[in-house]
Every structure is written in structure tokens, then in C-alpha cells.
Amino acid sequence: MKYYCALALIFLVIGNSFCLEDDVPSLKEHFAKYFKIGTCVSGGEIVNGNAQHFINHHFNSITPENELKPDAILDQAASQQQGNNVNPIVKIGQQAYYILKFCSENGIPVRGHTLVWHSQTPDWLFREGFNNWGNYVSRDVMNIRLENFIKNTFATIKRDFPNLTLYAYDVCNEVFAGSGGGLRPKGESKWMDIYGDDTYIINAFKFARKYAPQGCKLYINDFNEYMPAKTQNILDEAVKLKNMGIIDGIGMQSHIGSDWPSVQDYQTALTRFIQTGLEVMVTELDMKATDLSLQANKYRDLFQVLVNNNARIPSVTFWGTTDERSWIKGGNPLLFSNYQPKEAYWKVMTVGTNNKEKNLK
Ligand code: XIL
């Protein structure tokens, strides 16, 4: 008898949580007239049926969290065998496959992340023979590798997922020093070690423009983007690339806290980026917090700023679905916990003109 009661209870809880989820108004529908609402997702999460259901309900943009990074898609053995020292071979791994298949089958457009980055990029990409040892290659050889890497990435995605919509791509990620002060210096970035200036950024954008599918917007993406010195660094480079016609937008990673930066300071950076004439996407939003009411209010205020500027913001992406899955462990950074809405979710849903009362519950 005890056994049956326990079973009944489990079914009740599971059943209810499903019902609850469908009762929760959809983020993507609520903000549909303003911008897409995105999330990053891992290959591990996307194979889970409940997660799929949740993601389909709330999001209309997906960024693979790690699965399209250079260390995930570059194949060293194949590059050594077939690369002729200049052609890095790209493969879509199993985890990326799960994500892109889900996006393709469900018609969810993808933000690609990322091509040129100092991190999560294998050292062998920069060495003679694609080996783990020996000399680094010259700038000329690296240029050919860079072009082939970008060409192969877009070609491989197209070949494996012909129906996938790749609507934006982070061509360069975090090329500036942490909190301002110009380009990430030698010693911190192999790209900088080899090039010594921003030529690798310019070339990456030129190649991306040449090989990216039509409609895929090309982005420069960075963090601490709301710190004035860093804002200026990003602006200067972005305007330079814009004058060459090879960039479409600036990605604001937006890893923030409930205490810092202020929404006002964030807005200042956003406005300056928009004034360049480029688009802006919020690419990796999360907010560390201990006081969840403070967090909720700040999320609301931030969304009000984003909605006010929606004409130049095609998408707003959270860096994760639910707190337990976030890269920020124990920081309560997202709108959901255990896939259930937090106070922050309900506050965000008061922004915009849709059915305010209904959404407030
Ligand atoms: C993070 C992932 O979320 C983690 O799983 C991984 O261990 C490290 O990278 N800026 C970025 C993202 O551009 O790629 C990072 O993602 C978070 C910071």
C-alpha cells in the first residue's frame, strides 16, 4: 500500500510539473514583437525530452554552449593527414550534432559561437604540421589556415545541416583585454603572438563575409563590455570593421551581477554601440545574485531598457536555461530554477505591452 501511495505521489508531482510548465507563459511569445529570446544549450541537455519541451516553449534562438568552439570542431588527426599544413579540417562532433539536429528539426535559428578566440582553441592550430610541438607558423601561413578554417566551418555546417538557419555568428570573441586597455596582448592570445596587431580580426571578418551563408549576421562579441574603457575598445574596432563593410553587429555578453554594473551604466554602453549604426545582440545574459528580489527587479529594469531599444536588438540570449545548468555554479543567475520560473521571470514578463495582468498571475 505504501508503495502504491509513493508511486501515486511521484506521478502527481511529475504530472503537475508538466502541467505547470505549459501554464507558464512563453518568453519567446511574450517578446515576439521586440526580439528573439535565446538560450545556450549543451549536447548533454538537449537530448533530454523535458529540456527539449521547455526550450521549444520559451526560446526561438539557440547558441551551442561549447560545441561549435574551435577545440570542439577542429580535427587534429585529419588536419595532419589531409591538411597540407594549411587546411584545418572541421568536423561536427556528436554533441554539436544533437544540438544542430534539434534546431534543424524544430526550425530554431542558431547563433554560431565562435571562430576566433584565445580560449578553447587548440595550440596545434598555430604550429607547423598541426603538431603539438615545434615552431609556430608564420603570419602568411596562419592567414591561409584562418581562411580555410572559416570556409570549412561554414561548409561543414551547410553540408551536415542543409536546412539549418544560421542567423548570426560570433566571428571574434573576447579579443580585448579583460577590462579595457586595447587588444588582448601577446602571451594571452596565440592570434596576437602570431599577428602582433588586429590583422587577424580584420581577416577573420573578411573571410566570414566571404563564406557565411546569406542572412548570417557577423558579430564581434565581448565581456565587460559595459566598462567604459572596454566599451571604447570594442567601439573603435567595430567602427573600423563597419567602414570596411564586413561586420553587422556587436555582441554584449552581459555577464552581470545584481550589484554591478548598474542598469544605467549598461544602458550607456548599449546606446553607444547602437549609435555606431550596427546591430546589437545580447549574447550571454546572466546575473549573479543572492537576493532574488533584487535580481528580479534588476532583470525587469534591464529588459525595459532592451525593449526600449528593440529596433536595433534582433535577439537577447540567456547563457543557460535553468540555474542548475549554468556555468556560474551557485550564483542563481537565470530566470528559472529546476526549469520552474523564479521571481525574476515574472518580473521580466511585466515588461512589454502583452497581457500584463494575465502574466503577473
Ligand atoms: C563557457 C561555458 O559556458 C562553459 O561550459 C565552459 O567551460 C567555458 O565557457 N564567455 C563566452 C562563453 O564567450 O563561450 C563562455 O562559455 C562563457 C564566457
For residue 11, the model assigns a pLDDT of 44
If you take atom 4 of ligand 1, which residue's CA is the nearest one? 327
Q: Is 327 in the pocket of ligand 1 (CB under 6 A)?
A: yes
For residue 358, the model assigns a pLDDT of 39
Q: Is 65 in the pocket of ligand 1 (CB under 6 A)?
A: yes
* CA 203 to ligand 1 centroid distance, Å: 24
Distance, CA of 96 to CA of 101 (rounded, Å): 8
- C-beta of residue 42 within 8 angstroms of C-beta of residue 93: no
Residue of 219, 319, 322 with the most ligand 1 atoms within 8 Å of its CB, for mutation: 319
CA-based torsion, 326, 328, 331, 333: positive or negative: negative
For residue 16, the model assigns a pLDDT of 39
Q: How many CB atoms lie within 10 A of CB 21?
A: 17
Nearest 5°: the CA angle 46, 49, 52 is 50
Q: Is 253 in the pocket of ligand 1 (CB under 6 A)?
A: yes
For residue 23, the model assigns a pLDDT of 85
- C-beta of residue 344 within 8 angstroms of C-beta of residue 335: yes
Distance, CA of 227 to CA of 261 (rounded, Å): 8
* CA 40 to ligand 1 centroid distance, Å: 10
Distance, CA of 279 to CA of 273 (rounded, Å): 8
Atom of ligand 1 nearest to the CA of 327: 3
Q: Is the peptide bond before 321 cis (omega within 30 degrees of 0)?
A: no
For residue 17, the model assigns a pLDDT of 44
Q: Is 97 in the pocket of ligand 1 (CB under 6 A)?
A: no
Distance, CA of 207 to CA of 171 (rounded, Å): 10
The predicted model scores a pTM of 0.93
Nearest to 149 by CA among 223, 68, 64: 68
Nearest 5°: the CA angle 237, 238, 241 is 90
Distance, CA of 163 to CA of 134 (rounded, Å): 41
Instruction: Clarify whether 21 is annotated catalytic.
Output: no
Per-residue pLDDT of the chain (361 residues; tens, 9 = 90+): 455 544 444 444 444 344 445 689 999 999 999 999 999 999 999 999 999 999 999 999 999 999 999 999 999 999 999 999 999 999 999 999 999 999 999 999 999 999 999 999 999 999 999 999 999 999 999 999 999 999 999 999 999 999 999 999 999 999 999 999 999 999 999 999 999 999 999 999 999 999 999 999 999 999 999 999 999 999 999 999 999 999 999 999 999 999 999 999 999 999 999 999 999 999 999 999 999 999 999 999 999 999 999 999 999 999 999 999 999 999 999 999 999 999 999 999 999 975 444 333 3
Instruction: Clarify whether 174 is annotated catalytic.
Output: yes
Residue 239's Cα: distance from chain center in Å? 22
Q: Is 95 in the pocket of ligand 1 (CB under 6 A)?
A: no
Which of these is catalytic: 65, 67, 147, 174? 174
If you take atom 9 of ligand 1, which residue's CA is the nearest one? 66
Q: Is 173 in the pocket of ligand 1 (CB under 6 A)?
A: yes
3-state secondary structure of 338: coil
Torsion of CA 180, 184, 185, 186, to 10 degrees: 170
3-state secondary structure of 259: coil
- C-beta of residue 231 within 8 angstroms of C-beta of residue 223: no
CA distances from 37 to 54, 69, 154, 217, 309 (A): 13, 22, 24, 16, 15
If you take atom 12 of ligand 1, which residue's CA is the nearest one? 65
